[in-house]
Amino acid sequence: MENLIDVENLTYQYGTKVALMGLTFSVGRAEIFGFLGPNGGGKTTTFKILSTLFSCQPGQVKMFGMDLAKDKIAIRRKMGVVFQLPALDKKLKVRENLEHQGHLYGLLGKELQVRIDRDLERLGLKDRAKDKVETLSGGLQRRVELAKALLNNPELMILDEPSTGLDPAARKEFWGNLENLRKSQGMTVLVTTHYLEEGDRCDRLLILDQGQKVALGNPDQLKAEIGGEVLRVGMRNPDELMPQITQKLKVKTLLVGGLVQIEEAKAHNLVGPLLEAFPEQILSLTLGPPTLEDVFIHKTGRRFLEEKE
């Protein structure tokens, strides 16, 4: 698969604070590629560099075969951007917002109106064109944001936490729109998110933590690397009992969020022996397949949401 983006050894600092450290990855054409991580992981810094808002520091970024450090203007013409914070004038109508955005792209007259009609149609907004933005739900406003970013016919769409503040149904609908754009337009989509379920919807995923790459790959393949099942055990005095569990059951244990975690191919076979060996100490048992949070725990030793913003 041909790469649309190649990033090599990218580093970025805010003064003495290192936000990204030696980041290397590539993005193929027509791929939905996600940046997943807790707050402070480096997602937004990566977004700002790829959307040309920040200049490159040490490292190299190539997009569309061009050097981001030298060809910023040409690269901008080929992308659409949706920011985390809303960028709509809520006192204007939907069509008026799109018209003003089109003018920024240098679009005028019939060509602009044709593109507006096209994007309103494909995002299910045609019947809301004359409505003021302030009367729309959060999910519909996000669709208007996406319509704005599509006006210049971008090959690449970059979105920073686009579904923050949306309810689960609106998030699912928004992601359906992204998947339809990839399918119908062959568009490459880059998205940052801290929602684990959104990471599962990406073709490939780069998991970031404290500015470094934790894992990179297809979500199912990343989870498969853990293997089998994950058993979480709530216990009295887990710190004291972990060595006993390890010795008695011959398994590796982790203490995550106050729970004893065991990753085994057939972890369900351990439930009986655990209850038999520690009947008075066990408070809860949870068994299931690995999740992306388990991938993060496996790589970092702590839970995904433990990081403070």
The pLDDT, as a whole number, for residue 165 is: 79
Looking at the predicted structure, is the pLDDT value of residue 305 above 80?
A: no
Looking at the predicted structure, is the pLDDT value of residue 187 above 80?
A: yes
Q: How confident is the model at residue 307 (pLDDT cuts 50, 70, 90)?
A: very low
**What integer is the mean pLDDT of 23-33?**
95
Q: How confident is the model at residue 184 (pLDDT cuts 50, 70, 90)?
A: confident
Helix then strand count (H, E) for the chain reads: 11, 14
pLDDT (tens digit, 9 = 90+) per residue, 129-142? 999 999 999 889 99
- Percent of the chain at pLDDT > 90 equals 59
Domain 3-222 has CATH 3.40.50.300: yes
pLDDT (tens digit, 9 = 90+) per residue, 29-54? 999 999 998 888 899 999 999 999 98
Q: How confident is the model at residue 306 (pLDDT cuts 50, 70, 90)?
A: very low
Nearest to 231 by CA among 207, 265, 205, 208: 265
Within 13 Å and on the Cβ side, how many CA atoms surround 6? Answer: 9
3-class DSSP state of 239: helix
pLDDT (tens digit, 9 = 90+) per residue, 211-249? 999 999 999 999 988 878 899 999 888 888 888 898 888
pLDDT (tens digit, 9 = 90+) per residue, 143-179? 999 999 999 999 999 999 888 878 888 888 889 988 9
Indicate the domain borders of the chain: 3-222, 228-289
The pLDDT, as a whole number, for residue 1 is: 57
Q: Please give the class, per CATH, of domain 228-289.
A: alpha beta
Q: Which residue has the higher pLDDT, 4 or 241?
A: 4
List C-alpha distances in Å: 11 to 100, 105, 110, 211.
36, 31, 44, 9
Global pTM reads 0.86
Looking at the predicted structure, is the pLDDT value of residue 204 above 70?
A: yes
- 216 vs 207: CA distance, rounded Å: 6
The pLDDT, as a whole number, for residue 45 is: 93
